[in-house]
Amino acid sequence: MQYNKLFTPGKIGNLFIKNRIVMPAMGTSLASSTGEASDEIIRYYEERAKGGCGLIITEITRVDNETGVGTPNQLCATDEYQVPRLERLAKAIHRYDSKIFLQLHHPGRQSHGRLIGGKQIVAPSPVMSSAIGEMPRELTTEEVEGLVKKFVKGAKLAQIAGIDGVELHGAHGYLIGQFLSPSTNLRTDKYGGSFSNRMRFITEIILGIKHICGKDFPISVRIDGDEFVPGGINLEEAVKMARYLESIGVDAINVSSGTYESVNAIIEPISYPQGWKRHLAKAIKAAVKVPVIACDAIKKPDFAEKLLQEDGLDFVALGRAQLADPQWGKKAIEGREEEIRPCISCLYCIEELMGIKCVKCAVNPKLGREDFYDELKVNGNNRVVAIVGGGPAGMQSAITLAERGFKPVLFEKRSVLGGSVYLGSVPPLKTKLNDFLNHLEGEMRRLGVEIRLNTVATIEEIKNLNPYAVFVAPGAEPNIPKLPGLEEGNVCTIEDILGKKVVLKDKKVIVVGSGLTGLETAEYLAETGNNVTVIEMQNKIGPGAYLPNLIDVTTRLKKHGVAMLPSHRLVKINKQGIVAENTLINSVVNMEAEAVVLSLGVKVNDAFVQSFRENFSRVLVLGDAEKPGRIGQAVQTGLDKAYTLE
Residues involved in catalysis: 174
CA dist list (Å): 522 to 317, 346, 455, 530: 35, 19, 31, 9
Smallest CA-to-CA distance from 357 within 17, 16, 27, 9 is with: 27
Q: Contact 488/592 with Cβ under 8 angstroms?
A: no
CB distance 321 to 363 below 8 Å: no
The Cα–Cα gap between 27 and 50 comes to 20
Taking alpha carbons only, the member of 338, 297, 303 closest to residue 318 is 297
How far apart are the C-alpha atoms of 618 and 612, rounded to whole Å?
9
How buried is residue 466: exposed, middle or buried, by Cβ count under 10 Å (0-12/13-18/19+)? exposed
- Provide the Cα torsion 524, 527, 531, 533; round to 10°: 40
- The residue among 205, 283, 294 whose CA lies nearest residue 253 is 294
Q: Following DSSP, what letter does each residue of 2-16 receive, concatenated?
A: --SSTTS-EEETTEE
Cα–Cα distance measured from residue 530 to residue 537, given in angstroms and rounded to the nearest whole number: 22
Cβ contact 44:370 at 8 Å = yes
Distance CA 305, CA 284 (A): 18
Q: At what angle do helices 83-94 and 39-50 cross, to 10 degrees?
A: 20
Amino acid sitting at position 519:
L
Beta strands in 155-234 (DSSP E): 165-170, 219-224
Indicate the burial class of 467 (C-beta count within 10 angstroms; 0-12, 13-18, 19 or more). Answer: buried
Q: For residues 507 and 489, give the distance between their C-alpha atoms in angstroms, rounded to a whole number.
A: 14
User: Which residue, among 297, 307, 219, 316, has the nearest Cα to 258 in the 3D structure?
Assistant: 297
Residues 6+ apart with CB under 8 A from 238: 223, 224, 225, 226, 255, 280, 283, 284
Closest CA to 226 of 192, 276, 190: 276
Tell me how far apart the alpha carbons of residues 117 and 136 are, in angstroms, rounded to a whole number: 15
User: Residue 437 gets which letter from DSSP?
Assistant: H
Q: Where are the alpha helices (DSSP H) in 214-343?
A: 235-247, 278-287, 301-310, 320-324, 328-333
Pairing state between β 384-388 and 491-493 = unpaired
Q: Give the residue among 279, 191, 281, 290 at the shortest CA–CA distance from 243.
A: 290
Query: From the CB of residue 630, how many other CB atoms can be counted at a distance below 10 Å?
Result: 17
Q: What's the chain's Rg over C-alpha atoms?
A: 26
Length of the chain in residues, anyone? 646
The Cα 189–Cα 358 span in angstroms is 39
Mark out the alpha helices in 34-76 (DSSP H runs). 39-50
